[in-house]
Structure 1
Amino acid sequence: MTCLTVDTANPRRLSLEALSEVLNPPPPVDYLDYAENKVSFSERESPFKGNYNRNLFGYFDEILRALSPDDPCRIVTLAKSAQLGGTVLANIFTCGSIEMDPVDFLYVHPTEGNAKRWSKMKLSPMLKNSASLKALFPQSSRDGSDSVLYKERVDGRGAIQISGANSPASLSQVTMKRQVQDDLAKWETNTAGDPEAQADSRSQAHEFAKIFKISTPLVMPGCRITRNFEDGSQELPYVPCPHCGHMQVLRWENMLAHLDEEHPENACFYCEAPDCGAAIEEHHRSELTKHLEWRAQNPKAKRQHRSFWIWSAYSVLQTFERIARAWLKAKGDPASEQTFMNDVVGIAFQTQGEAPPWESLRDRGAVSDYPRGRVPAGALILTIGIDCQDDRVEWQVVGWGRNKNRFVIQYGVFPGHISEDSCQEKLNVLVKQTWPNAYGRKISADRIAIDGNAYTEDVWEWVKKHPASVVMMVRGNNSDSAPMLLPVKKERHKKTGKLLKWSKRFYSFNASVMKMALYRNCRKEDPLAAGYIAFPTGLDDEYYRQVTAERRVSKKNKDGFDVYNWEKDPKQANEALDTMNQAEAAALRFGVRDMPELLWDKYEAERETFPKEAQGDFEDLLSQPAPEPAPETEPETNPEPEKASRSKWRKRTG
């Protein structure tokens, strides 16, 4: 007879071990130690291959301490420049928490698309490359515990929920002790209301929750990360002067005030101490940051909400010279200046939400040195913006120059719908139309952008008859965080599922930032100022009313937060503003923003020299009569269709 032997554990011992595990306090959660011993970078991830180096990122030490459970604050905010290492900081907080002090963790991105990319490109490599994390997340489960947007520890003691702020469903029915709100400035209201309030509520049930809000600022008023920074302790990075020891913040305004534009390689700061004023140069930086101190401007908020701000001047990933050159490249173009202030300086761009008085622009046009329909000297590139309405098509020709300047050339209206042959024929003529410049050359449009948001199929029927290098379809996006110009996501036919052909020639542009830039530049009165906008003689008052028809206003949403949108006077048409933005989108696609000087030289040589048949003595050239303006019978200058068409929308709008 065979006996079956069964080994049983000592139940008393098991119960005591379980009790000991529960009663013993957990080890301290030290994110600094975790970063140094568990975080490493490949060449692909960082220019500094190897383990996390506190000497390079010493300014993050205090932020990591604030994220620790030992610090009583509930919220930690970091407003920063782009590419400063903020994502690394968030990853240390995320993975360190899930390994050292297992909890349910929420990581929220602006959109689900961003969330998936982060999960695949940032989180998954960290889980694979760390031996300890790999043991906790084997990434081979088929029971739903491992997916792109959800990672659960193998022992079930904690999980990472990855969500998009645009998806209210992913922010509901979950309770999270810790969370990261990444790229917070780019979060936009979703169908359920304010996503930041929704995310904050997910940690409401935990008394000792920790919420990390991190982002590069965008636009004020309305920037979420700036608002959070101001609500918190407002801690700034003070460093000592290498000459006198005076503690101060390295500020962009200090560098700008002393910047020699001819020699950006000499960019530096100057000590703010009255009895010093010595230069603080880049070679001093490594020693300065060793003695960096975070000093709170609003210390009473530290117990609940610690907020930090830092910019690229403190980072080994950026040089003072590159900062100066980035400014010189952006100077004069408000859209580029916004990108510089956000990504390099780490502060929100102050918007010009109110349009200048239309009368002031009209008065500028009345004394202009060039007439409507003529291309003035300096306008080397021409683009056209076209806007389609129910009973008319309106268009505007804009010239672009070297110094980020623009010149309004012509504005016109064609009666009829874009689907009508008669309207398309007029547009066909417009594509080939030329405008005389100050040198007697006849210039045609280099790029044309037509609004394809409405009547898309009708617009495409006209667009596809013209070269892709000349005519493009566009639609406006009024989100402050949208790219300036981006191909529209490929669209498919609703019934057949086939890729729509216009997807290759359809672009979305950031209408919100373009309006801010336009209104800021319209206020410039010096024709030599970068970004100056010139208007011709001959435009009627209605044009100026339309181009200044909108303003940026705030409204309270249902959660009580301010939401900023562009609104126009309901009694005032705004096609002049729309076509201006469309013409700028065409200019961006053509490349005027980043065009090298050699290419500007090429266009100037081709377009701003007198034709060969006009060559002669200088006195002869001066005595030649100016070229006649385009004849009144040409379609773009025919006042009758314009007058008739305008009367229709005036009746419709009251």
Structure 2
Amino acid sequence: MSLNFRDIKAEASSLLQESDFSEGLSEFKRLLAQHRSDYLAWRERKPFVQWTYDNINLTSQESSRAGPMKLSVYQREIGNNIFHNPECRQVTALKGVQIGYSKGLRAIYGYAAAELAKRVSVTFPVTDDMKRFFKDELALLHSSCAAVQALLRETKRGEVADSMSEYRYKNGSIAYYRAAHNEDDLQGFTSWLQIADEADRSGWLPRGNSAGDKVSQLRNRGTDFHDSKLIIGSTPGIRDISVIWREWETSDKRMLEVKCPHCGQAQILRWGGPKTRYGFKYTVDENKHVTDVFYQCDSPRRCRVDETLKEEMIENGVYKATDIAKVPGNIGVHIPSWLSMSPGAAWTLLAQQWVAAQDDPAKLKEFVTFKMAEPWDDIGQGIDETTASSLFRQYPAEVPDDVVLLTAGGDTQLNKEGKGTEFSIPSREFSVVGWTRFGQMRVIGHWKFYGTPGEKSSDDEVRAFLGRKFKRRDGREMSILAAAMDSNGGFPEQVRAFCGSFPSNRNIWAIIGNNQAVKDDKTRYVWPRKPTPGKKGKGSYYRIESILAKSEVFRLLQYTGDHAPMFPASMPPNYLEKLLCEEKRRDAKTGKISWKEKRGRRPEEEWVCLAYAYAALKGLQMVKLQTWGDLNLAARNLGIPDTIHDPKTGEIGYDGDDMSAHAQERRAVAGPLLADPSMPKPLIRGSTTTVQAPDRVVDPLKAQEALPPKQVKRRTVRQIKPTRWG
């Protein structure tokens, strides 16, 4: 049968005219658009803040604000600049504690890996810190965030296995976990985002054989990407070696500007002080407990801003640059603890910690670095004129009431006045120090004895001095329980033989100070566990860590108020100046600490002897641990009071004539009013006359009147530098 194509065409045309293809065409266009969207068009990505809220949930075990994560104002500032500011190449976070920084890094990591499919590297100071972050933050992200969980892969044969050093996701994102301590960890990978945390920890400091700055090495891992980013954050440490402070100084130094809820005045929240118009103001009760705290607005109205308005004021704040970045693209974000909504950063708690830190340098350092997010001027710390004057007091007796025990530190040298000439005279100088139940110093005095060590007359004078009894106001007498004498001043054998002539229970020790720089002045012991034998088994000595001893004495000098050290008002006017002859230095490359003489100065015996007296205390506590290991317990057993007070009337303090050892010696020279005939007459400081043994005669000397503290001219040493944050 033949086909009539003309009829078929006509029939088909008729059917096409009668058929409706609109529904099918619509479905085709829909499917075509969907395929174009899925495979040909860029997917519209959520902003960082919205993605975090939609994908990360905080549990009640990790946060007081359980539920979808709502980023704080500073977390938003960091994340938005990293992900949405094309001009930003680095964010430097100068931060305090209790601010939720690790949780913010968790969100940033998740967004970069899951939403952007970027390579990320996370670097901590040491491996243990990295493992902690992985377990506490990243493992939780893997298990609780659906967007990240969907990217976890099952490792197949031949593929790189996931570990705590490297993690690979289905979308091509790779994460590297590294420790800055091991410099090799900073090599062999590339990443679009580098995260460097706790940058002021020692792991970030270069070592002797280091290839260079570790932050720069980490930054080089992103050079394969034209738009790579770096986040570096840390609580600041010592200003001179602070890595985060160095990076902050090259940033635009953004501070949070808020508006007063009452008057609308724009301002930066600063801690302030009692004399500033702005800042946190508080009241305390008789027990120094903070009963009320508020922020005082920096405006003529001085509005009171209570903590109930804290969240509204801070979360509506805006970070603004306060400087022009020295390195283009470096965004600095300052985050003190009082900006945090964490219960641990409540204003009342911060004010209480500030009050407790006023008499404790260690607590003050912690508050400045951990709460104020400012670097600590460890090297520049000193004693101002007012504080210096307050350290000099009239003593009620040779030994103040609160002293538990006495030690002495001795230095041996050729007389500096005649050094290098035929008139050079050897001398030995001693500082006698009393120690309170709190381990604080009560300097009894400083004495000098001329004569060559080993000569009988000279040794007899020093022996009599070390056996001297010092009187308390209650009539009790105290002896020097331990003495550390330098044996490295030109007469090592003589000094060691002299110390060895005492019975072992007298604790008169020959020492040599180890002045080599140390990595950390709080991780070693001042006094060694055993002595070092001398040549041919003669004249053993103890090699003490003098750097540590000086650091501890310097720390004690920083205390103020009831816990401050004390010096008798009869000390020479330049005594404190001599104590400040050296300064603490930290090598920027190695991080090691040493004590060096200040420019134009020399190590003074007064300073050295004080450090040796402290070393003698540590030695005594080592050999007599049960008796003197706990000074507080020893004070209780001996009935030593906490403070200076009259044993008869119970009156706190002392406001009478100076009855210190030097004051009585001066009166004794002027006339036998308070002289003890059984004791050899000691040398008056500033004189070149030798201390006399009983069989010698000395011409009468002119009495020296002790200057009251307010008349003593002492050098002013700078305090913590004021900063833009008050």
TM-score (norm 1): 0.64
Check 1:584–1:356 CA distance in 2 against 1; reply closer, same or farther (3 A cut): farther
One-letter amino acid of the counterpart of residue 31, structure 1: F
Instruction: Pick closer, same or farther for the CA change 1:153–1:566 going to 2, 3 Å.
Output: farther
Match of 1:535 in 2: 567
CA contact (8 A) 2:236 2:369 kept: yes
Q: Which of 399, 405, 408 is 2:443 aligned to?
A: 408
What secondary structure, in the 3-state scheme, does the structure 1 residue paired with 2:188 have?
coil
Q: How does 1:364-513 map to 2 (within 5 A)?
A: 369-370=394-395, 374-377=398-401, 379=402, 397-400=433-436, 406-409=441-444, 437-440=472-475
2: CA distance between counterparts of 1:48 and 1:629? 76
The total of aligned residue pairs comes to 544
- Which residue is equivalent to 2:460? none
Q: Determine the structure 2 residue equivalent to 1:39.
A: 56
CA distance in 2, matches of 1:440, 1:119: 64
Structure 1 residue 606, shift from structure 2 partner? 10
SS across alignment from 1:73: coil
- How far apart are the structure 2 equivalents of 1:324 and 1:446? 42
In the TM superposition, residue 350 of structure 1 has moved relative to its aligned partner by 3.1
Does structure 2 conserve the Cα–Cα contact (< 8 Å) formed by 1:356 and 1:548?
no
Q: How far apart, in 1, do the equivalents of 2:447 and 2:35 lie?
A: 82
Query: 2:437–2:642: 8 Å Cα contact kept in structure 1?
Result: no
Shift of 1:291: 1.7
Q: Which moved more, 1:314-323 or 1:295-304?
A: 295-304
Q: Does 1:211 align with 2:230?
A: yes
Matched residue type, 1:567: K
- Structure 2: which amino acid aligns with 1:167? N
Kept in 1: contact 2:124–2:198 (CA 8 A): yes
CA distance in 1, matches of 2:169, 2:479: 66
- Partners of 1:582 and 1:21 in 2: CA distance: 75
Q: Distance in 2 between matches of 1:384 and 1:154?
A: 66
Identify the residue that residue 260 of structure 1 maps to in structure 2.
283
Change in Cα spacing, 1:446 to 1:307, as seen in structure 2 (3 Å) is: farther
- Cα distance in 1 for partners of 2:399, 2:155 equals 65
Change (3 A) 1:244 1:295: same
Residues 557, 218 of structure 1: CA spacing in aligned structure 2 closer, same or farther, 3 A cutoff? closer
Structure 1 residue 120: Cα displacement: 3.2
Deviation at 1:439, TM superposition (A): 3.3
2:369 corresponds in structure 1 to 342
Which amino acid letter does the alignment assign opposite residue 641 of structure 2? E
**Residue 316 (structure 1) aligns with:** 341
What residue identity is the alignment partner of 2:400?
P
Give distance in 2, aligned partners of 1:278 and 1:117: 44
- Paired with 2:259 and 2:384, the residues of 1 have a C-alpha distance of 47
Residue in structure 2 matched with residue 289 of structure 1 by the alignment: 314
SS in structure 1 of the partner of residue 196 of structure 2: strand
1:284–1:145 Cα change, 3 Å: same
1:252 Cα deviation after fit: 0.4
What is the alpha-carbon distance in structure 2 between the residues aligned to residue 508 and residue 106 of structure 1? Answer: 42
- Evaluate the alpha carbon distance shift between residue 534 and residue 34 of structure 1 in structure 2; reply closer, same or farther with a 3 A threshold: same
Alpha-carbon separation, structure 2, partners of 1:533 and 1:92: 49
Match status 1:171 vs 2:186: yes
Structure 2 unaligned segments of length 5 or more: list them: 1-33, 413-427, 449-465, 486-503, 506-513, 527-544, 650-658, 660-672, 682-690, 693-726
Paired residue secondary structure (2:108): helix
What secondary structure sits across from 1:146 in the alignment? coil
- Are the structure 2 counterparts of residues 529 and 67 from structure 1 closer, same or farther at C-alpha, using a change threshold of 3 Å? same
2:123 aligned partner: 108
User: 2 CA distance for matches of 1:319 and 1:583?
Assistant: 44
Q: Percent identity?
A: 19
Q: Secondary structure at the match of 2:222?
A: coil
SS of residue paired to 2:45: coil
| Cα distance, 1:296 vs structure 2 | 1.3
Work out which of the residue numbers 225, 242, 248 in structure 1 matches 2:267. Answer: 248
Matched, 1:145 2:181: no
CA RMSD of aligned residues (A): 6.0
Contact 1:354 1:552 in 2 (8 A): no
Q: What corresponds to 2:714 in structure 1?
A: none
- Residue 82 to residue 478, structure 1, CA distance change in 2 (3 Å): farther
C-alpha offsets along residues 582-636 of structure 1, whole Å, 9 cap, x if unaligned?
689999x99999x9xxx99x96379967499xxxxxxxxx9xx999899889xxx
Aligned partners of 1:203 and 1:628: how far apart in 2? 78
Aligned to 2:139: 124
Q: Quote how far apart the aligned CAs of 1:556 are.
A: 6.7
Residues 154 and 67 from structure 1, CA distance in 2 versus in 1: closer, same or farther, beyond 3 angstroms? closer
Q: Aligned partner of 1:253: which letter?
A: G
Task: Give me the whole-angstrom Cα distance separating, in 1, the residues matched to 2:578 and 2:407.
Answer: 17
Change (3 A) 1:280 1:518: same
| Deviating more after overlay: 57-66 vs 177-186 | 57-66
> What's the offset of the Cα at 1:156?
7.8
Q: Report the AA paired with residue 284 of structure 1.
A: L
Report the counterpart of residue 596 of structure 2 in structure 1: 567
Q: Which residue of 2 aligns with 1:196?
A: 215
Alpha-carbon distance change, 128 to 405 in structure 1, aligned in 2, over 3 angstroms: same
Deviation at 1:331, TM superposition (A): 0.2
In 2, Cα distance between equivalents of 1:250 and 1:591: 46
Q: Any idea what the Cα deviations from partners look like across 1:483-518, whole Å, max 9, x if unmatched? A: 967999xxxxxxxxxxxxxxxxxx999889757645
- Counterpart AA for 2:191: M
Q: Secondary structure at the match of 1:283?
A: helix
Secondary structure at 1:329 match in 2: helix
Shift of 1:441: 5.1
Among 103, 115, 119, the residue aligned to 1:88: 103
Change (3 A) 1:153 1:448: farther
- Work out whether residues 374 and 437 of structure 1, in 8 Å CA contact, stay in contact via their aligned partners in 2: yes
The residue that corresponds to 2:490 in the other structure is: none
Give the match for residue 238 of structure 1: 257
Q: Contact 2:152–2:169 at 8 Å: present in 1 too?
A: yes
How far apart, CA to CA, are the structure 2 residues paired with 1:37 and 1:115? 27
- The residue number in structure 2 matching 1:636 is none
Secondary structure at 1:196's aligned position in 2?
helix
Give 3-state SS (helix, strand or coil) of 1:265's partner.
strand
Alignment check: 8 A CA contact 2:407 2:616 kept: yes
Offset of residue 224 of structure 1: 2.4
Quote the Cα distance in structure 2 between the aligned partners of 1:197 and 1:386. 47
Write the deviation string for residues 353-407 of structure 1: whole angstroms up to 9, x where unpaired: 376799x98x999x75349x95314x45669799999xx9x997453478x9642
Structure 2 Cα separation of the partners of residues 444 and 125 of structure 1: 63
